[in-house]
Every structure is written in structure tokens, then in C-alpha cells.
Amino acid sequence: MQTLTPAIRVSDEVRAAIDAGAPVLALESTILSHGLPAPRNLEVGLAAEQQVRDAGVVPATIGVVDGIAVVGLSPAEIERLCTSGDVVKVSVRDLPIARAKALDGGTTVAATAWLAYRAGIRVMSTGGLGGVHRGASETFDESADLGTLATTPITLVSAGVKSILDIGATLERLETLNVPVVGYRTDRFPGFYVADSGFALDYRIEGAADAAELARARDELGLASAVLVANPVDEALQLDPAFHDRVLGEALAAASEAGITGHDTTPFLLDHVQRATGGRSLEVNLEVYRGNVALGAEIARAVAG
């Protein structure tokens, strides 16, 4: 565990758990600050922490408050990030800016993973991982999540990447960056809203103990990359694949017709999908997150054991 600076604060509960070798699970905060509408975001944030506690694990929701990166936000701080109208999205590159300007921020997968590792936390859960965007061969639009995972040895549970991204290119980048990707009880890479994105995986694991063993093997080899555990949403809870494909096609066509490009593309597509599905995509989003939190807690216990 590395020495922290005054710019990073770890809660007493999380610090005590880390020092005792007890299981801790890191949770991101952009899903709360930018991914879900109020007041649902606060309900989800507090419920996720309780879900982790009920599993015998200490939750560490991570975010930025007044420029200080906080590992283990208090309920009041979670509420602040969920309800304030002046919360920025913070990736790793934004941390020094948030610090210098004393901003409040929801941390992305990249920033959350990096801060969790700095604090000594070894497992993290999220909803969907960032990836390579469609048309990236021209725009070079690729999430910083991927590069950070290449240099941050943490175990990350994710339901793949959102289907609005270029999933094939994302998997190629993960391979290039030497990030091990394993399916949790599946040979198929999940597409967030659907259990099967259409892309195969070379490796799978069957339980939390397998994930812990994989992390130990990585550490023994001295590798610096994360281990990505791809956990699909239950098929009974996914969006109907045919309906999903039709809605996605319509969303992409609408974005093209409206001339939407760059950073505006993702929020446009997600909003279109949510409206076209009558809010069903949001409910799937929440099911995905709950499933990943549950599995992350299991893996945290196995890693600590």
C-alpha cells in the first residue's frame, strides 16, 4: 500500500478494514452524480452500500468533495454528490484540476480504480466499463478507463461495456493493453443491457474463489494490470436482444441525422435508448449494478480470505 497525501482522505472505517485485512469493496460515484436521475441516484447509492454491508464487506464509495479525493464517502457526502447541481465528472486526469479548484466530483471507473488502489483496496464493482467509441479510428475517442486499467492492479467487476460503444474494438484494446478479461460463468462478453454482446471470450471463471486466485497469480507475476471480470445481467432481466438492436440502430441513426459527434454522442444515445425503451433500460442498468455489487462483495471476501 502506498503512502497517501493530504489530497486523498480515507475514512476511518475503510482504513481500519484495510489495516485489518478485512474485505473492502470500492464503488464509483459517477453512476450517482451523472448516471442516474434524482432522487433515484441517492436511493441507489445508499442501497448499494447497505447491500455490501449485508454481505459482510465494508463499502468504500469514492468521490471528490471540495477537491479532496475521498475513499469511503459518508452518507452526507454521497447525498451531496447526488443532489448538488455543481458536480463534475472526474477521471484520473481531472483529479489535480478538481484539487486545485476545490471542486466536487463523481469519480469515473478510472479515477475510482486508481484511488482505490492507492488506498489499498483490491476489488471494485461498477455497472459498465468505458471503452472505444464507434468511429474512433477517426476521432480517437477512447475512454481513459482502458489505459488506467492497464496500470492499476485491481479486480474490476463490470457487465462489459454499453452496447452504444464499439465492443469489438474495446476487446482488442484490452488485449493490446494486456488486461486479462474473464467471463463470470459465461464464454460470451456481455453488452450491459444484454447478456451476450455477440463477442466470445477466451476464458471464464465459475466462482469468486477463481477470481481471487487469478488476482493472486497476477500479483505473483508482478503484472500491473487490472483483472476484468465480465458479469452478464441475468437473461431474464435483460432487454430483449432483438428490441435492443432495433432501438440501438434507431439511436445511432438519430445521432447521425442530428450531427451529434464527440463527447455529446454518449449522453445523446443513452437518452434516446432510455426514452425509446420507456425507461426499461434504466431498470436494466440498476439490475446490472446490483448484480455486479453482489459479485464484487463475494470476490472481496475471497481476496481477503
What residues does each domain of the chain span? 8-304
Indicate the pLDDT class of residue 199, thresholds 50, 70 and 90: very high
Question: The domain 8-304: what is its CATH number?
Answer: 3.40.1790.10
Indicate the pLDDT class of residue 136, thresholds 50, 70 and 90: low
Is 50 exceeded by the pLDDT of residue 2?
A: no
CB 24 within 8 A of CB 123: yes
Indicate the pLDDT class of residue 263, thresholds 50, 70 and 90: low
pTM: 0.94
Instruction: Return all residues near 12 (Cβ < 8 A) that are at least 6 apart.
Output: none
CB 89 within 8 A of CB 34: yes
Catalytic site residues? 28, 162
Q: Which residues pair with 69 in a beta bridge?
A: 8, 64
Structure confidence by residue, pLDDT tens digits, 106-127: 999 999 999 999 999 999 999 9
Percent of the chain residues past pLDDT 90, beyond the cut:
78
Mean pLDDT of 45-70: 98
CB 155 within 8 A of CB 123: yes
**Cell (9 digits) for 175:** 488485449
Angle at 71 between CA 66 and CA 75, to 5 degrees: 75
Is 90 exceeded by the pLDDT of residue 85?
A: no
pLDDT at 260: 81
**Cell (9 digits) for 214:** 487469478
Residue type, position 258, single letter: A
Mean pLDDT of 51-70: 98
Is 80 exceeded by the pLDDT of residue 1?
A: no
Residue type, position 100, single letter: A
Q: Which residues pair with 207 in a beta bridge?
A: none
pLDDT at 141: 75
